[in-house]
Amino acid sequence: MAIFDEELGALKERVLRLGSMVEAAIHDSVRCLVERNSDIAREVIEKEHQINILEVEIDEECIRLIALRQPKAGDLRFITTAMKITTDLERMGDLAVNIAERAIELNEEPQLKPYIDIPRMAEISEGMVRDSLNAFVEGCTKLPYEVIKRDDEVDNLNVQVFNELLFYMIQDPNTISRATRISYVSKYLERIADHATNIAEMVIYMCKGKIIRHMEFPPPIF
């Protein structure tokens, strides 16, 4: 089983690497908005295909491991969870691209207001992504529950940002198109946090091991 253990270790590392890439994409997408630097945004958009490639690579490796090593119980559950997690990570990458696109548009117009809540939302979301993946590779701890709790903070900030922008829009209809774009960025960050929450929920579900117990003693078949 030593080879299989090494393969599982390599799988964990790849999932962590995908996570780091997604975190960097979120970070840079918001930085290009705050620093009004559209070159960073274009870089985020260009780099997105690397995230997609690694997602597919991880999925292929999972299927290969299932087919060749015929893992049981905890290992099987870990691998199938990895396959589900990659989907969430890849979608977060898409959302970082969406932020970058809105940032490029916003950078072409005068700045409506200083960005305060949005960098804060990005910071929390990045931490949630990191922690949800650490929870996944480290096994079963309290970490995924903490991730889920923090999602409320991001939701509240999203509502706060939206209400503030609504005020701008009502005061001056000329701000509507810019304010709407900023509200989209806030919404994208909220969705990124939702994806991290989904990962945390899958980790908890993996740890509960409801199905694993059924599989410890598979009934004779064929």
By CB under 8 A, name the one of 49, 72, 113, 213 that touches other proteins: 72
Q: Could you say whether residue 52 binds other proteins (CB under 8 A)?
A: no
Q: 3-state SS string over 87-137?
A: HHHHHHHHHHHHHHHHHHHHHCCCCCCCCCHHHHHHHHHHHHHHHHHHHHH
Q: Could you give the string, one character per residue 181-210, with x where binding to other proteins holds by CB under 8 A and - elsewhere?
A: ------x----------x------x----x
Q: Could you say whether residue 2 binds other proteins (CB under 8 A)?
A: no
Shortest CB 17 distance to other proteins, Å: 20
Query: Applying CB under 8 A, which part among 31-39, 129-137, 145-153, 176-184 lies near other proteins?
Result: 176-184
By CB under 8 A, name the one of 67, 110, 114, 217 that touches other proteins: 67
Q: Could you say whether residue 5 binds other proteins (CB under 8 A)?
A: no
DSSP per-residue codes, the chain: -HHHHHHHHHHHHHHHHHHHHHHHHHHHHHHHHHTT-HHHHHHHHHHHHHHHHHHHHHHHHHHHHHHHH---HHHHHHHHHHHHHHHHHHHHHHHHHHHHHHHHHHHTS---S--SHHHHHHHHHHHHHHHHHHHHHH-SSSHHHHHHHHHHHHHHHHHHHHHHHHHHHHH-GGGHHHHHHHHHHHHHHHHHHHHHHHHHHHHHHHHH-HHHHHHHSPPP--
By CB under 8 A, name the one of 70, 111, 141, 156 that touches other proteins: 70
Q: Could you say whether residue 148 binds other proteins (CB under 8 A)?
A: no
Q: Is 70 left (phi over 0), alpha (psi -120 to 50) or beta?
A: left
By CB under 8 A, name the one of 50, 111, 156, 177 that touches other proteins: 177
Q: Could you say whether residue 10 binds other proteins (CB under 8 A)?
A: no
Q: Could you say whether residue 16 binds other proteins (CB under 8 A)?
A: no
Tracing tokens 């997609």 back to the chain, one arrives at 52
Q: Could you give the string, one character per residue 91-130, with x where binding to other proteins holds by CB under 8 A and - elsewhere?
A: ----------------------------------------
Contact 41, 100 (CB under 8 A): yes
By CB under 8 A, name the one of 12, 47, 84, 130 that touches other proteins: 84
Shortest CB 39 distance to other proteins, Å: 27
Contacting positions for other proteins (CB under 8 A): 3, 56, 59-60, 62-64, 66-68, 70, 72-73, 76-77, 80, 83-84, 87, 166, 169-170, 173, 176-177, 180, 187, 198, 205, 210-211, 214-215, 218-219, 221-222
